[in-house]
Amino acid sequence: MKQSMEQDAPIGVFDSGLGGLTVMREIMRQLPEEHLLYFGDTARVPYGSKSKRTVCRYSRQIVRFLQSRHVKAIVIACNTASALAFDEIRDEIDIPIIGVVEPGAMMAADTTKTNNIGVIGTESTVKSGIYDKFLHRINPDITVVSKACPLFVPLVEEGLWEDRVTEDIAGRYLHELKEYEIDALVLGCTHYPLLRRIIGREMGEQVKLVNPAYETAKSLKVLLTEHDLLHPSGIDDKGPTYDYYVSDGVEKFISFAGDVLSCHVGKAEVVNIESY
Ligand code: DGL
């Protein structure tokens, strides 16, 4: 089988910062042939407390940057940007694009047995009601209880994944969710899978944690196949390339990315994203 130039192009993956690496990790696992280009908006994180207008502006700039790198498809590896900017951006570009919210909702609906689902995310994601919308579309009988956990993002970015401080904050945020007999909890921010152990301990084993990254990578494969853009397997013995771009803080990014992806991340480049 021959591969086309389009099939050989990279997939652009972006987030407000480092959390989208949890989605990148899953894409690497499920689509090991694909070249990936990651952009983390480390100068402007967090997005979770910003308005729709600002998040749309930032997301547009990133999409323009990714398109200047000739990506064949885009993954919005950020729940906040998926919640606030996905519809606008999808209507403006002519390459396939996928966010994390719809796949996450599908996975949560598949996971629950009681139809009581919890969602944790940034303030903007929770306020947007996007998970409720998708979950009710899938099954109107589902009850959703949501909680914004704004301190989780800085705790993750500080590397406090297994720390007493994070445990205390998790206790405060999550105790009220326990009153609602949920049996599935959506980790509705791409930073949160890195706090999975603490969140899991706090919620107890009867609550299944749903990481939308898994279903996002699966849906991405379907989308690429539909557009005849999937990189054919076994054709390229050089293997995939992974390129990293950030808007600030290269050194911190490199060390963090190495930890999340469990591999050596040699370099990342700084992009002046405001110029796009
Ligand atoms: N990782 C982003 C998300 O999934 C949010 C972090 C932020 O507030 O920028 O929502």
Whether pLDDT at 39 is above 80: yes
pLDDT of residue 232: 85
Say whether 263 is catalytic.
no
pLDDT of residue 238: 79
Whether pLDDT at 5 is above 90: no
Q: 47 near 58, Cβ under 8 Å?
A: yes
Whether pLDDT at 2 is above 60: no
Say whether 78 is catalytic.
yes
H-run or E-run covering 116: strand 116-121
Residue 81 CA, closest ligand 1 atom number: 10
pLDDT above 90 covers a percentage of the chain that reads: 94
Tell the residue nearest (CA) to atom 2 of ligand 1: 78
pLDDT of residue 235: 65
Whether pLDDT at 1 is above 60: no
